[in-house]
Structure 1
Amino acid sequence: MVKEVVERKLYNAVSKGDLTTLKQLLQEDPYLVHEAPFACSRNLLHVAAMHGQSAIVEEVLRMNRRLARIPDSQKSSPLHIAAAEGHVIIASKLLSVAPEMCWWRDDQGMNPVHVAAMNGHVELVKHLLGESCLPAMERLHRGQTVLHLCVKHGQLSALKVLVEKLGEFVCAKDDDGETLLHLAVRCNQVETIRYLVENKTVERQTRNSMGKTALQVLKESPPHTATYEKIKGILINLSNESYFEALPKMTDVTMVVVVLIATMAFQVAVNPPGGVWQDDKPTHRAGQAVMASTHPKMYGHLVRANTTAFIASLITIFLVTTGLPSTNILFMAVAMYAMCVSLVAIAISYGASVAMITHTTRRQAVGHLIMTVLAVVLNLFALITAYVVIRKLYLSCKRKKRQQQDLIDDTFVCPVFYWIFQQLETRGFLSG
């Protein structure tokens, strides 16, 4: 009975910050600082950290630093308790004694950074990240990160701090392939979704392990919820990126195409149809193209087309490699034009090559067939390209209008197209 009374006095002194009573009780029984058993096997530091009593923490650490490393029955260290309550000064004192506690996990698998972020204690999160960012990268249950934890508990302020500090880690997925944006949609976190969409670091169009984007995940939710239309509007704006925003994604495909064309043109140059002469004679020399002697006019067409394809491909390769099309619309137009020229030229080179190796009686028919197919393919390519460009520009115009942005901010031809779209919408030819 006496022991219970003493323990109650000790608990009250620690929780209320009564340093005088604490010293008196510990002077009467010094072993209390080591053995005081509170609920959940917590010691003096756990209780002091829970109630934010920094002076008590400092005094107990002076008497017994080992208590900072002793967890309670839930495997929570005193730093876990301080993180849950958001006590920055106490956390700093505990870390000065046991800095490795940033890595310790409780029975839920969370370290103090996870606990502080989940509870939205921004200043404490900043302090812990100042010690080391590595504990924040520790994975939780089913591969979730501290960022997933912030989204799940609606802690946007803590999420912003972590995104700023953790760099590309913000693109991490859990075991189900879910990104932060997927989880934010599932949790109906409108402001979090808006922040993630506007953030340039976060991958916004990623699919989860089921092959679904964030917008597809939203469509599985009941459409009558209060946040449904708001989230849908944000995600639709995300999918309606402009042509120029989508351009960097096209560079890899463009490079593959133009490198292939350049390789084909080089091969035709060093190994023309019909081969090369193997001996020297008055009419030719060894190594010269046979076609140059037998069909000089056709060979001239082949060389001109092949050279045009090769040079146009080199121009496109140079522009894409330097990244200029992604920063300037004029360079983008030059790169696209050069690629189209190289496609047309290599097609003409192919036609000349086929005509060369075709029998005379069939040459005219084959030539007509090649030209017809070439005309159809090129026209189809031009129509598809025009459709894609105009559609992207139209979606960009609609997005800018929804966001109340100035339509004349863009340079070059965009404002002209925006004006045309507005006139068509006014006359009812396009949906507003």
Structure 2
Amino acid sequence: MTLHILALETSSSLCGVALLSFGDAEPALRVLEHDATAEHAERLLPMVDALLSQAGITRSQLSAVAFGQGPGGFTGLRVACGVAQGIGFALGIPVLPISSLLAAAAADFALQQAQGGQGIGSEGEVRVVVQDARMQEVYMAAYVAFADQEETAWLQIQEPVLLSAGDVGIWLDQAYARRPGRYRVLGDALQAYPGLNELVVGREAVELGLPVRADAGTVARLARQNWLAGRLTPPEHAAPVYVRDKVAFTTAEREQGAGGNPRAQGLAPAAGSGASAELAIVPMTEAHLDQVADIERLVQSHPWSRNNFADGLKAGYRALVAQRDGHTQGFFMLMLAPDIAHLLVIAVRPGEQGKGIGSRLLSCCEHEARSRGLPAIMLEVRPSNGKALHFYQSRGYRLLATRKDYYPAGDGRREDAYVMKKELAPPEVARNVAGMGERAVS
């Protein structure tokens, strides 16, 4: 029997898909890649279809779907995870999340071994992965490869963290003090921040690796190991790994104008406009982002940033805003995966809540999904957000699963997420969806 694992990797500008077939014959790997920024959403699914066509198989023959779960670019991680979940839900197959930093370490290891390098064993060198996180920061993790029967296994000695590029040297010194041995620093941050090369070259027992990134082929190979070991994940439990938890504001920052600040209140409709003014639902554009980000900061303890919304627009996510008298009162952003829609974020300005805007926006989400033939829509919500839970339940959303430690909750703590899902009626059954005004733009 031949098994087929589809792998997706979009944590950097490299958009890749791979198909690893194994079982009755020697493993066979097929890969398609495209390197470009902000094109993952439009390219990933056509690349999947092209790869499956080359292999002469259909989606129904897939045994599992793997994805690079990050850390990495916010938008790219959402794309790969959402597509993997959609395929997993539709086919009833497991998902295999793979650390993108581990994939980079494994890619470097394979290249080094092909060139005759050493480093296998419990006392082998530590591979320190530094990937560009922009803003003079890096995503970093560290691993050791060791032989496990006929496979190469991995021991994680530093979980993924976010560091200033200039602090990598400090980490190396501290790590060496705790664990003397050989260290090898690798990753695309070596190209993004040339100063890192000087930090590495000037340290004893530390060598310079390759500026590699995670790739779909390596994700597929690591996923095969997880498959053989029975480390499988239900689609509803798959989630990206984010380490940039600094998305909330401290009290001092709020006093200086960040977060739920007075200037956001100044964006409310002008006096006298009245709640009865017509509400228009229009596509979100760059011009709306300041007001969208202000609403988000007012209603979320750990809000998306303006850049997160900008990245979502570039990635092709469907996003609409509710406007009255030219002022944004609410919004949503929706990812349309191949077999399911994923509501990423939805919010209404506090002073406008309870006036039906949220219901209008949610109806628009469902219309967008239905119009593209998608059978269901899913979302995550904090268990502590009782108001949101009641809202979704009243609209037909049902609890599907719980994701452990999904949300940041402050002070280094995490909060679970409830995964909710609603089955959607076909378009012909739901042509008159409540709340879909003529001004909604498709």
Q: Normalized against structure 2, the TM-score is what?
A: 0.19
Whichever of the two has the greater Rg, that structure is: 1
User: Of Structure 1 and Structure 2, which has the larger fraction of its residues in helix?
Assistant: 1
User: Of Structure 1 and Structure 2, which has the larger fraction of its residues in strand?
Assistant: 2
- Of structures 1 and 2, the one scoring higher in RCO (CA 8 A, sep 6+) is 2
